[in-house]
């Protein structure tokens, strides 16, 4: 099993935003990162800490489980940091009705971005119509509220042909991003998958790489492969590496 994007150590890490002298390059990198805490055992204090770190570092978003979305929304209100949460997570095996209800609750709680897991089983069963119906149901709710929707493909379970087809379905359904992984599957993001997804959706649609991104090298490889957003719980360590590299350069 991969090291999940949201299951890194939620306690204070050696690098804190206060301790990092962020270069302009490091700040630009921060603006592409969803600072992610999706551990089931995460506490309110840990969620609040992640929000504070996101505020200080200038991350694109803080991504938390739906139960903590109201806490995150309150904590980052009035800042440039967005609140992201998950729907149908981590298996994508709930009904479209359930996913719509989750999305609606998340939006009411203050979420500005929703990362939904597509119906992976339907994709593997050769039922693209069901996959598209599922995504469309959540896209409709999100876009009516001005909320960004990312579709998680969970690539570890798909063939390359299925990955391409899923990207095309998500694009046709109107999703804003396609995303590699939940971080809870057999493996997370790979460069090959990110490149394949970018080719499938073209230059305009967002591609989010998530799962197993632990170092600056990991982050840069995903961006070079075509990702426009990264999901990781190792955000501060990655920024610390970027800042050190900038200071040395």
203 close to 21: Cβ distance less than 8 angstroms: no
| Position 47 confidence tier, pLDDT thresholds 50, 70, 90 | very high
245 close to 216: Cβ distance less than 8 angstroms: yes
The DSSP element (H or E) to which 100 belongs, if any, is: helix 96-109
CATH topology of domain 24-248: TIM Barrel (3.20.20)
Backbone angles phi, psi at 20, to 5 degrees: -95, 125
Q: Count Cβ atoms below 10 Å from residue 228 Cβ, excluding itself.
A: 17
- Predicted TM-score of the model (pTM): 0.91
DSSP secondary-structure letter at 12? Answer: P
Q: Is it the case that residue 76 has pLDDT exceeding 70?
A: yes
Q: Which of 99, 150, 171, 208 is catalytic?
A: 208
Tens of pLDDT, residues 176-186:
999 999 999 99
| Position 21 confidence tier, pLDDT thresholds 50, 70, 90 | low
Backbone angles phi, psi at 152, to 5 degrees: -85, 125
Q: 115 catalytic, yes or no?
A: yes
Q: 208 catalytic, yes or no?
A: yes
Tens of pLDDT, residues 88-118:
999 999 999 999 999 999 999 999 999 999 9
Q: Which of 34, 115, 176, 193 is catalytic?
A: 115
Q: Which of 134, 171, 179, 218 is catalytic?
A: 179
> Where do the domains of the chain lie?
24-248
CA distances from 178 to 32, 71, 131 (A): 15, 26, 14
């Amino acid at each position: 099993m991969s090291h999940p994007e949201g299951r890194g150590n939620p306690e204070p890490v050696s690098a804190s935003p206060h301790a990092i002298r962020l270069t302009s390059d490091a700040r630009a990198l921060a603006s592409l990162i969803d600072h992610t805490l999706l551990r089931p055992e995460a506490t309110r204090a840990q969620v609040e800490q992640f929000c504070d770190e996101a505020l200080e570092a200038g991350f694109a978003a803080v991504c938390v489980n739906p139960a903590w979305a109201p806490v995150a929304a309150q904590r980052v209100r009035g800042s440039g940091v967005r609140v992201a949460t998950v729907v149908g997570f981590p298996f994508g095996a709930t009904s479209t009705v359930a996913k719509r209800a989750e999305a609606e609750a998340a939006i009411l709680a203050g979420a500005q971005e929703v990362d939904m897991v597509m119906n992976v089983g339907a994709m593997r069963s050769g039922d693209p119509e069901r996959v598209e119906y599922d995504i469309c149901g959540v896209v409709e709710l999100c876009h009516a509220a001005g909320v960004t929707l990312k579709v998680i493909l969970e690539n570890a379970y798909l063939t390359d042909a299925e990955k391409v087809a899923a990207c095309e379905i998500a694009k046709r359904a109107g999703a804003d991003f396609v995303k590699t992984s939940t971080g809870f599957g057999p493996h997370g993001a790979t460069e090959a998958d990110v490149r394949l997804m970018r080719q499938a959706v073209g230059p305009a649609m967002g591609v989010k790489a998530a799962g197993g991104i632990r170092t600056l090298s990991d982050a840069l490889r995903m961006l070079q492969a075509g990702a426009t957003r990264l999901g990781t719980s190792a955000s501060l360590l990655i920024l610390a590496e970027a800042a050190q590299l900038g200071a040395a350069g």
